[in-house]
């Protein structure tokens, strides 16, 4: 498999080069030259397959022979060792729980897969790699966990000060070792801009071996397809495929789901559930995309005003608005509605979502109200405890704290304060 840049101004790259570079030299995102089509037998026999076999079959065409099969199977096994249960919430709505990994967030899959691929690629390399990543919440913790003590790799995580939850902040600022957290006095878009400027800086790249662990990286983005196959494996009515609703910020997750669908996975329709950051939701209504400044909300991991992965969705559908509109709808949910939905779902159905899951539940509920006979899945992307400061005042109860979280809450936070200035970031990296 070869990957081209969405800006079409760089040479193609194989999986290894695309993973190590992260961003193409022309600042475009790497995109596969073709989307593999999975066999009908694979889909029809999916219930008899293990998680590991599903993941290996899905990802193998994208990796090709770059990673030997036994190594790739081991990487996959270490990536999907935890559960991805599909839980019934109402007669028509199911929750795909993606928070059973080490940092209690869906990004554990992509971060673990990428870290192990990168670890394989740098074996025997005489230069250390610096992984530079911007996070609006869960990416930071997942990347910190996935790359902790990976030999030959240093990680620098930029996050917006005061705009991630307290648990998320603890997960990315208390790791130490080869993980460094930079607290930026701005929003996620500032962090993302600084990272992109670093990759575009020739002087910096001559000095450092840089790559990214955001969903812009193909090794972070593509494994997210696994969730959707696991959801379908557990879906009992195979003759009536589900509507799938994804809480969406940088749009890597839903884009991976769309790729899975194009590959042959049965999905009736996709819903992009957005908070007040509604640039893509507006596009899905009008056909016109306008990036906007990021707005802070209680579903902070989705606070992205200019989603990087939206260009991949455009590429997937050859920039044809009618084709995108036919497959995907968008909803924008306010904070007040998010709180009310979280409360209602907990009280009526005895199921506790996090704020992002509440956004997705509400969007799916609105869609199903207009499409009788359809049933759907929403992605519950993080454990509610990661947002206990939002959830507890709504339900008037304390959220159960898993052991994995208890261990980090008493640790001392260590971060480097920085204004949203690329020059400051460059000076730090060179030092």
Would you tell me the crossing angle of helices 252-263 and 225-234 to the nearest 10 degrees? 60
Beta strands at 93-97 and 3-5: parallel, antiparallel or unpaired: unpaired
Which structure tokens are listed for 38?
């999975």
Listed residue (62, 38, 51, 64) closest to 217, CA to CA: 62
Listed residue (50, 5, 43) closest to 24, CA to CA: 5
Listed residue (269, 240, 270) closest to 253, CA to CA: 270
Catalytic residue among 21, 51, 107, 196: 107
> Would you call 16 a catalytic residue per the annotation?
no
Which structure tokens are listed for 233?
């494996």
The C-alpha atoms of residue 305 and residue 188 are separated, in whole angstroms, by 9
Q: Is 24 exposed, middle or buried (0-12, 13-18, 19+ CB in 10 A)?
A: buried
Helices (H) and strands (E) in the chain, counts: 20, 13
The C-alpha atoms of residue 246 and residue 221 are separated, in whole angstroms, by 15
Q: DSSP string spanning 183-210?
A: EESS-HHHHHHHHHHHHH-HHHHHHSEE
Q: CA-based diameter of the chain, in Å?
A: 60
Q: Is 334:328 a contact under the CB 8 Å cutoff?
A: no
The C-alpha atoms of residue 305 and residue 310 are separated, in whole angstroms, by 11
* Beta strand ranges found along 161-280 (DSSP E): 179-184, 209-212, 243-247, 269-274
Listed residue (178, 200, 182) closest to 191, CA to CA: 182
Active site residues: 107
């Amino acid at each position: 498999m070869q990957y081209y840049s969405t800006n079409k101004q760089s040479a193609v790259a194989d999986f290894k080069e695309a993973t190590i570079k992260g961003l193409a030299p022309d600042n475009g995102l790497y995109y596969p030259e073709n989307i593999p089509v999975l066999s009908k037998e694979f889909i029809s026999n999916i219930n008899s397959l293990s998680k590991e076999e599903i993941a290996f079959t899905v990802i193998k065409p994208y990796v090709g022979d770059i990673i030997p099969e036994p190594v790739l199977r081991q990487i996959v096994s270490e990536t999907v060792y935890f559960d991805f249960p599909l839980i019934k919430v109402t007669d028509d709505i199911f929750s795909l729980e993606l928070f059973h990994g080490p940092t209690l967030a869906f990004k554990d899959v992509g971060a673990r897969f990428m870290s192990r691929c990168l670890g394989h690629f740098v074996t025997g390399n005489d230069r250390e790699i610096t992984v530079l990543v911007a996070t609006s919440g869960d990416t930071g913790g997942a990347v910190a966990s996935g790359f902790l003590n990976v030999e030959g790799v240093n990680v620098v995580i930029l996050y917006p000060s005061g705009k991630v939850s307290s648990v998320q902040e603890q997960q990315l600022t208390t790791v130490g070792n080869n993980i460094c957290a930079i607290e930026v006095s701005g929003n996620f878009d500032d962090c993302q801009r600084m990272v992109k400027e670093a990759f575009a800086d020739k002087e910096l790249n001559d000095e450092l071996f840089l790559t990214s662990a955001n969903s812009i990286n193909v090794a972070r983005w593509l494994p997210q397809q696994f969730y959707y196959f696991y959801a379908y494996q557990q879906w009992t009515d195979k003759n009536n495929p589900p509507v799938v609703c994804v809480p969406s910020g940088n749009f890597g997750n839903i884009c991976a789901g769309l790729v899975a669908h194009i590959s042959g996975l049965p999905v009736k329709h996709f819903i992009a559930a957005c908070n007040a950051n509604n640039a893509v939701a507006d596009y899905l209504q009008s056909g016109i995309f306008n990036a906007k400044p990021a707005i802070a909300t209680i579903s902070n991991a989705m606070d992205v005003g200019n989603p990087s992965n939206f260009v991949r969705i455009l590429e997937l559908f050859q920039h044809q608005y009618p084709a995108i509109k036919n497959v995907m709808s968008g909803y924008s949910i306010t904070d007040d509605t998010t709180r009310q939905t979280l409360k209602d779902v907990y009280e009526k159905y005895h199921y506790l979502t996090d704020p992002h899951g509440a956004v997705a539940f509400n969007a799916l509920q609105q869609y199903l109200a207009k499409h009788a006979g359809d049933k759907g899945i929403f992605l519950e992307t993080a454990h509610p405890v990661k947002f206990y400061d939002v959830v507890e005042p709504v339900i008037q109860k304390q959220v159960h704290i898993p052991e994995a979280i208890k261990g980090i809450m008493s640790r001392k936070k260590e971060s480097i304060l920085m204004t949203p200035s690329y020059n400051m970031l460059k000076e730090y990296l060179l030092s």
